[in-house]
Amino acid sequence: MSEQAAAEPEKKSVLAGFREFLMRGNVVELAVAVVVGAAFSKIVDAVVSGIINPLVGAIGTQDLSEYKSCLTSVCGTDPKTGETIGIPINWGPVLSASLTFLITAAVVYFLMILPMNKYKERQAAKLPPVEEPETELQVLSDIRDALITQRDGSTDAASALAQPRDPAGTEKVNTEK
């Protein structure tokens, strides 16, 4: 009985964790990106088959899958046996896929990435400048300077800490007496 009671909260926490994982924003955004990407892929395929292939077809055949080279002198099929003769290298489909990739990458960059970067730059320009937090080295330098001035008796430690300091840390303190 105690084993079942211990197992039930574990199941609930695993299911709750899974639900939380699914409801996270980045998982939902990823699912939307996949659906939009699949639809966009169809558009790019249509552009390649409807525009690019005919332009390439002005030079040769419209069907890029027919572009191939042969490693041996003759490529084709034996009319009597139907077997392939030679070793064909089908570079047409590779060219088609490369063109599809380049078009997709260009559209994504110019219509999505570039405008998003400009938007982020504008948003960053609107924000006030962020003050850099003091580093440990800067704090220790302030403390050192305050202790030196306190020891010399010239001013108290609080006023030494309030004095402006060299941000590059290039000032030299004379500690010789």
Domain residue spans of the chain: 11-126, 131-166
Per residue of the chain (177 residues), give pLDDT as tens: 455 555 555 556 888 888 777 777 677 778 888 888 888 888 888 887 788 778 777 777 667 777 888 887 777 777 888 787 888 888 888 888 888 788 878 877 888 889 889 998 998 888 888 777 788 888 899 999 999 998 887 655 455 455 555 555 455 555 554
The pTM for the full model equals 0.47
| Segment 65-99, tens digit of pLDDT | 778 888 877 777 778 887 878 888 888 888 888 88
The CATH classification of domain 11-126, taken from the options 3.40.50.1820, 1.10.1200.120, 3.40.50.970, 3.40.1000.10: 1.10.1200.120
DSSP the chain: -HHHHHHHHHHHHHHHHHHHHHHSHHHHHHHHHHHHHHHHHHHHHHHIIIIIHHHHHTTS-S-GGG--EESSS--EE-TTT--EES-EE--HHHHHHHHHHHHHHHHHIIIIIHHHHHHHHHHHHHSPPPPPPPPHHHHHHHHHHHHHHHHHTSS-HHHHHHS---TT---------
